Structure 1
Amino acid sequence: MAAAPRRRVRRGEPIPVWRQIEIDLTFEIRTGFFGPGDRLPSESELAKAYGVHRHTVRVALARLADEGLVVARQGKGVFVARRPVEYAVTRESKWSEFEQRLAARPDGKLLRSSRRTATAELAALLAIAPGSELLVLESLRRAGPGVSAYCYHVFEHARFAGIDEAFRRLRSYTPALAELGHPEFFRTRTWIDGRLPRADEARALAVASDTPVMVMSYVDAGRDGAPILFGSAVVPAGRLRFRVDSP
């Protein structure tokens, strides 16, 4: 690591002192003086270095946390956040290819399989009759250290009976769908939302119940254009960065 920077604030200027500290630390993080996972100096160390009250430093660190640059770990300190892995949302998006890009082997784990009745909304998305029987699979999928998703996949049971056992055995939906006669499929719609995790999601993803998550929901269709599944991937905020390219 390079030599420690000189820390000082310019009093009497229109920029608040806490903002000056935030700018300094942001620059040090952006330029690599502090890298992902590095621990920042403590509040008391920064307060002493800048000659300010600890509360002023606390405000600056809180702003860095709001911007996603740092994370606070109780009893351990404040650390530079790890840079999120980028996931491109395209017509060809597949988690299996994302795993390959990160040099990870298929590592899907089936958590739950259940049957439900299609609501009008789900029926419209899957182009089936309302009231049709659905097969709903919940799984945990990993693509490398710190990159996990709690996934929901919804299929018409009449067409995809056995997809749960195929996924359990193959640990990936791409080969499982190929076994059931759908070697090629593509994305037709994508929605990205944010919320807090449900209890099962938080437990499986090993995050606190108040940790925000991002939810990518989508519809995949077979090569004939007919919908084959509705899915949702729940990912802790800051772990993935979704990139949507304009056509």
Structure 2
Amino acid sequence: MSGLNPHVDESDRRFLLDRSHRSPLWRQIASALEREIVRGHFARGERLPAESTLAKWYSVNRHTVRRALSHLQERALVRSEKGRGTFVNEHVVEYLVSRRTRFSDNLNRQNRSHDGVLIGHRVMEAGDRVSRALQIQPTAQVSVLDILRKAEGRPLSLTTHYFPRPRFAGLHETFRKTGSITQCLGAHGVADYFREETRILTRQATSEEARLLGLPRHRPVLETRSVNVDELGVPVDFGITRYGGDKIELVIKTFLD
């Protein structure tokens, strides 16, 4: 745990509380923990010590600690996960959805490192939902790419892309080389593309989605279903993206290219 020095006597931490001060002990504990978080002694996504451990550090009862943690949770500094503990919240990624939505541009704008990993690909019949989105026959073949994207080294989104064949046959090989959907489409003759539609919903994560995104099983995901078209208005990509709801803030820019 990055916030602790195992060679420091735990009783030394009692100096953080002024028992003669008018400020309640729970508020002093909350302030002390907030300082630890702001200084980076507890990293984003890190689990805080258990309530019993914090109670021992500060020589208070668990109820006092629980109230301090509840205060931090109300201020969105930490989150509580049933059966797992209390974790420092990660920075939320602001993700612009506009006529020209690009994953890399969104992350570069915020000076965040990012990458995408192809975790699966296949060829299948479009079926009803995909065929409607891509305006093709349900029996037409599509190339499917499953991509796990990370920001700052942590899972951010899981996207399943559907591309009509034969126009985009072999797209997975291009993605392995470039790691970019924009470059993939460019290599297959699409000089530019535009977001025609984005639908947003929430639902329960599947066990596989929770595992890949590093989420508790009970936590919902934010799902977007989007259609991108080329310069002639022909659909080139139908994507279903799942985000951890506490990791992303979607910003809809109606008039932004």
Structure 2 length-normalised TM = 0.71
Q: Aligned-pair distance for 1:166?
A: 0.8
Structure 2 residue matching 1:108: 3-state secondary structure: strand
1:213 aligns with 221
Q: Aligned-pair distance for 1:243?
A: 1.1
One-letter amino acid matched to 2:169: A
Q: Aligned-pair distance for 1:140?
A: 1.2
1:171 aligns with 179
% identical equivalent positions? 30
One-letter amino acid matched to 1:222: D
1:185 aligns with 193
**Residues in 1 aligned to 2:254 and 2:75: alpha-carbon distance in whole angstroms:** 25
Residue of structure 1 aligned with 2:153, choices 125, 145, 148: 145
Contact 2:81 2:216 in 1 (8 A): no
Residue of structure 1 aligned with 2:113, choices 104, 117, 122: 104
* 1:185-222 Cα distance to aligned partner (Å, 9 max, x none): 11111122222322332232233322332222211111
Residue of structure 2 aligned with 1:113, choices 116, 121, 128: 121
One-letter amino acid matched to 2:102: K
2:136 pairs with 1:128? yes
Contact 1:175 1:183 in 2 (8 A): no
Aligned positions, number: 232
Q: Aligned-pair distance for 1:124?
A: 1.7
2:254 pairs with 1:234? no
Q: Superposition pairs for residues 1-247 of structure 1, below 5 Å? A: 35=38, 43=51, 54-55=62-63, 58=66, 61=69, 65=73, 68-72=76-80, 78-101=86-109, 102-104=111-113, 107-247=115-255
* 1:208-246 Cα distance to aligned partner (Å, 9 max, x none): 322332222211111111111110222222212111134
One-letter amino acid matched to 2:79: V
**Residues in 1 aligned to 2:177 and 2:205: alpha-carbon distance in whole angstroms:** 27
Mean CA deviation greater in 144-153 or 89-98: 144-153
**Residues in 1 aligned to 2:79 and 2:246: alpha-carbon distance in whole angstroms:** 10
Contact 2:113 2:153 in 1 (8 A): no
Structure 2 residue matching 1:225: 3-state secondary structure: coil
* 1:84-131 Cα distance to aligned partner (Å, 9 max, x none): 0211111111112224333536x3221111222222332121111222
Contact 2:195 2:228 in 1 (8 A): yes
**Residues in 2 aligned to 1:134 and 1:73: alpha-carbon distance in whole angstroms:** 39
Structure 1 pair 66/201, CA: closer, same or farther in 2 (3 Å)? farther
Structure 1 pair 67/128, CA: closer, same or farther in 2 (3 Å)? farther
**Residues in 1 aligned to 2:140 and 2:75: alpha-carbon distance in whole angstroms:** 45
One-letter amino acid matched to 1:156: P
* 1:110-168 Cα distance to aligned partner (Å, 9 max, x none): 11112222223321211112221122111112232335321110111222111111112
**Residues in 2 aligned to 1:140 and 1:34: alpha-carbon distance in whole angstroms:** 28
Q: Could you list the runs of 5+ residues in structure 1 that have no partner in the other structure? A: 11-20
**Residues in 1 aligned to 2:226 and 2:84: alpha-carbon distance in whole angstroms:** 39
Structure 1 pair 80/109, CA: closer, same or farther in 2 (3 Å)? closer
Structure 2 residue matching 1:165: 3-state secondary structure: helix
Q: Could you list the runs of 5+ residues in structure 2 that have no partner in the other structure? A: 1-14, 43-47
One-letter amino acid matched to 2:116: G
One-letter amino acid matched to 1:141: R
Contact 2:133 2:238 in 1 (8 A): yes
